Structure 1
């Protein structure tokens, strides 16, 4: 293991490295957009071949004027010039309808006939007709008729055509589709049912059309789930990201906003994520690191977080050494410019940081993470430096990710013995950090405390005084619970740490605090809290102390006798938390631990008095009447137990019977006569033989 000096150098190097965008690893899958599109289903157009009809230029022009008249409501004079017999009557009627303000699909049937003829004759006027129709479709009243008449489908077929078409025709065809679908679900349905989103997406590759094609897809998808899903399934997110990274989508404010919004929309769809290449996460990360606009940064981070919820992309991130870059995105979130006066942006930035942190937590929870990033890696040293960072979210990130590495006794021991991480975590507990930081630091410390060899080191570093402050942290019950859990963990089988928990709060014998201990503070929390898990956890701490100290005291150990005396004489109500273990029903094993602990307590005269105090709780007293005789039903024991209900009930019965025997032996008048008589009757009716406490496996 490296020395302290070399670790400090590695921290600095790791932090710097985490700020620099990386280049994609050779193994990363970053296919070209053309290749991605080639893997998607080919589209075909149902339009007839062009050039199958012959119309004179004059005829084409008159047809175009007639169409324009219908859409734009031209002067009657223009309508009077019609002389094509086949079209005259229908266009004249359509023109009259338009002038009267009538806009319906019937009035557009003549227009559909015109554009079909213009297509069949390969007329240049078709592009102009498309422009007129696209302009008209800006008007909401035209959108429904354009869809119902078949005009929308016609231009969708134009867009789908593989023919080498005039860019102007394609441009205005796209405009018509985009305008017609704006806030019009009936037209969006036409697009989706014909699977036309993909042909539109293919035009992203055309630099002359991409600035229109992207907003068209946006108009089709916004607030319309079927189009949203189809767009995502067509790998739109990857296509846009790759084009952005390659510079094919130019720096245009509105176009970039549409692009990033579509990427984010696609990331909300399961299929959209499943169909994306692994390299999508690399593109998202690199673009986020380059982005300066908060709105765009937000879309990228939201998308990245969605991808990193999936195991495949977590593994891709780890295997391609990308975790440093994701950490850099978190760091970048602290320097991105926002409007501090905007509640929306301030709140949005806070949410982004939480999402990145959650993504990193998911990544670090993978077993692959520990393989690629051991404790001597640069990323581990960077995270270690973040434990005491000024930014809350960096501290949380460090605690969660390193805490996820602390999954074996060996790793936990190295973290404490060699890296001294516990000292930095304890300093976090002492410096008035916010609840979320405290919670993450406590979670990390709980992992470290599991390794038996670490308990003394944690206690020597002041863990008990540090967590005792947090037992009064009422605003965040999770912090109180974790702080109580650590007190239990560090005292398991440790006489030294039990002694620390029972140490006076003041060394001054004249101070009232001299007769109060850290356990006194924990018992005060028990009396104040309404949280059943916290009450139970405090009970487990008392039970753990009894398990360690009581057997040694019976064997004559003087230190154990002294600790047992402190336990009972300085802590009124010390058995009440154990009663909470018995009355809870969520964890059957914990209930059995409670009966066993009360039996141990009752073996000592002072402890017996504490048990009698506990029996003032009517629920505990009632359970004591039922349990030794086996009257407590299997329904009292949760099926969450790893053992059969009958086995658990038998353990409770045996331990409760021993408790009854010890009470009768040691209560020394603490029990009122009526209660003693009831317990004597209970003892007679319960079992025929003396039982020893049945400890749990």
Structure 2
């Protein structure tokens, strides 16, 4: 429950965000006055004050009776209009059971409600004191439900909502009563929410004498009560509080600031609150998060809220269109200057989670279709991101890789990044460092994107990307890193004899060293034997298949370099066809299986390749699939056309594979296997190899 203490605060409702990096005329940053003026009025059911005339003595008598019901104390000392209030709340804090305090139920408060209405109608000066006594009484949990059931709570909600001129003291104690009555009491909270009285309370945020109480009142109503969360969100509470914080209207009282930041976060968790917020909400969140002395708890509340807003396309687009992405980057960077207790594991984890959320928001923003248009490759933002690739903080490195990767949406941009900006060199240096798995994964993801375009594969290979990724094939703690590192090896060798040559380069130039008989491909094949990951095994198989697809046609044409490389492929890499077998036995991608059959058929053109195939066929699953594929019959009624075409192509390629294997195996094929192959081939007419 919030303690309804106080601070002094001021607010200039007309002040606009002149310090904003985005002009207020462009970005929607309305004043709190303007926001509240657009909200519906909450009508008070109270009649006009002063409609009845009641003698002062009678007013005093009514007040004395009300006080006795609540406090059940002795005589009240009166001296003219000045009451002795020294002990007014003493009994409220020293409850001694029902025997002392009297019965506490709605019926006992019926006369209290009548008294309040009479004091209101005669504009009695005693009403403020009555409100104070009741507010004090509402601190006792046993009074809260009766206050709600009797109508007393609704009376004071109507006071708060009234458009009539009401003295500040009466409003203050009315707010206190509402806040205390709603503490841990959902029955009373439901009364507040049903009448949308939260909006009436929020209007008093503009009163510097009441804001110190009004904010804790809203906090008490909302805590652990979802309907109130939704209502304050719909009433734009997050934006209102953010604007008041930015304008300095809430002051520097730590408790009040904590209530305020918590309410912003609560409201930001509601969809309707986000949808109703002005675009400038995200700027306020960012600027407050960038406060020089901001507490860690407040920073994380702001960034949690910010990430919630930036999940919505509306605010992603606003962030980009109004050039706020730089500010968002500053928030992430600023997180590393937030002071925390590093001995507290909880604080460390909370701040780490906050950074992850900011990074996710930046990823979403940079994925927007507007991003590239507003932040071209040569922008200051891109230069900042490039400098972050080698930053000492993991999250800055990850941010740079993801955002620049999202900027690389076309071949033209990818080629410029590599050719002109040399970004690939920065990324390769990350791979060669002692970076953590998450950083390596993001750098590899960016490199995979860059490797697709134009001549980039040559630039990457020349920058020694193959030696760099080869070190990551042993990165067993993060399989995603191994997979991405294997994928890049496949990407850079596509249709490139030069890059295949690099993959088949000996690990040592010393002919006496055992490493001279091992290549980078040897390391990749070693990964194949160690890993349990089917995607990694398949990716290595695709690499071998790509080598065969590039070299074999050139060997047929008499290319000496291709012939030498193909000999190296078979001579130095025992079991080189096993990864291709993994392509065939996997069931997730039929097109990859077809790619595997085609690669084995290419291998069968070479005697050494036949030896590798025989080794692959030691896998019973591969052999059974070969027999099944070659003998497969199609049911035209149940087979889809695309599936039929795939099966036909696979069958033709397996037929050619077996034909070439029988022709070129040179005794490598065991007699039993040869009999099987000859039997299968005799049942089929000659086919052509198809890709």
TM superposition score normalised by structure 1 = 0.90
Q: Distance in 2 between matches of 1:200 and 1:609?
A: 84
Q: Which runs of 5+ in 2 are unaligned?
A: 1-18, 78-96
**Which one of the candidate residues 605, 608, 613 is aligned to 1:606?**
608
Q: Residue in 2 aligned with 1:178?
A: 179
Find out whether 1:52 has 2:54 as its counterpart: no
Find out whether 1:662 has 2:652 as its counterpart: no
| Contact 2:658 2:681 survives alignment (8 Å) | yes
Shift of 1:349: 1.4
| Contact 1:73 1:98 survives alignment (8 Å) | no
Q: Distance in 2 between matches of 1:510 and 1:371?
A: 57
Deviations 1:321-347 (A, max 9, x none): 111111111111111111122222111
Structure-to-structure mapping, 1:250-289, within 5 angstroms: 250-289=251-290
Q: Residue in 2 aligned with 1:204?
A: 205
Q: Distance in 2 between matches of 1:693 and 1:179?
A: 84
Structure-to-structure mapping, 1:70-469, within 5 angstroms: 70-75=69-74, 99=100, 101-292=102-293, 293-469=295-471
- Residues 363 and 633 (structure 1), Cα distance of their counterparts in 2 relative to 1, 3 Å cut: farther
Q: Distance in 1 between matches of 2:596 and 2:328?
A: 46
Find out whether 1:62 has 2:61 as its counterpart: yes
- Residues 112 and 291 (structure 1), Cα distance of their counterparts in 2 relative to 1, 3 Å cut: farther
Deviations 1:422-443 (A, max 9, x none): 1111111111111111111111
Please identify, of 146-155 and 514-523, the stretch whose mean Cα deviation from structure 2 is larger: 146-155
Q: Distance in 2 between matches of 1:673 and 1:101?
A: 105
| Contact 1:97 1:107 survives alignment (8 Å) | no
Q: Residue in 1 aligned with 2:38?
A: 39
Shift of 1:225: 0.9
Aligned positions, number: 652
- Residues 122 and 228 (structure 1), Cα distance of their counterparts in 2 relative to 1, 3 Å cut: same
| Contact 1:25 1:320 survives alignment (8 Å) | no
Q: Which runs of 5+ in 1 are unaligned?
A: 1-19, 79-95
Q: Residue in 1 aligned with 2:648?
A: 650
Shift of 1:533: 1.2
Find out whether 1:674 has 2:672 as its counterpart: yes
Shift of 1:691: 2.3
Structure-to-structure mapping, 1:477-556, within 5 angstroms: 477-556=479-558
Q: Residue in 1 aligned with 2:689?
A: 693
Shift of 1:650: 2.7
| Contact 1:412 1:451 survives alignment (8 Å) | yes
Please identify, of 179-188 and 461-470, the stretch whose mean Cα deviation from structure 2 is larger: 179-188
Could you say what secondary structure the match of 1:290 adopts? Answer: coil
Shift of 1:71: 1.5
Q: Distance in 2 between matches of 1:554 and 1:202?
A: 84
Could you say what secondary structure the match of 1:334 adopts? Answer: helix
| Contact 2:545 2:596 survives alignment (8 Å) | yes
- Residues 119 and 371 (structure 1), Cα distance of their counterparts in 2 relative to 1, 3 Å cut: same
Q: Distance in 1 between matches of 2:515 and 2:632?
A: 45
Q: Distance in 2 between matches of 1:437 and 1:633?
A: 50
Deviations 1:355-414 (A, max 9, x none): 111111111111211111111111111111111112211111111111111121111111
Q: Distance in 2 between matches of 1:572 and 1:21?
A: 66
Shift of 1:632: 8.5
Q: Distance in 2 between matches of 1:178 and 1:200?
A: 10
Could you say what secondary structure the match of 2:53 adopts? Answer: coil
Deviations 1:266-299 (A, max 9, x none): 1111111111000111111111112521111111
Aligned-pair RMSD on alpha carbons?
Answer: 2.1
| Contact 2:437 2:478 survives alignment (8 Å) | yes
Q: Distance in 1 between matches of 2:509 and 2:634?
A: 47
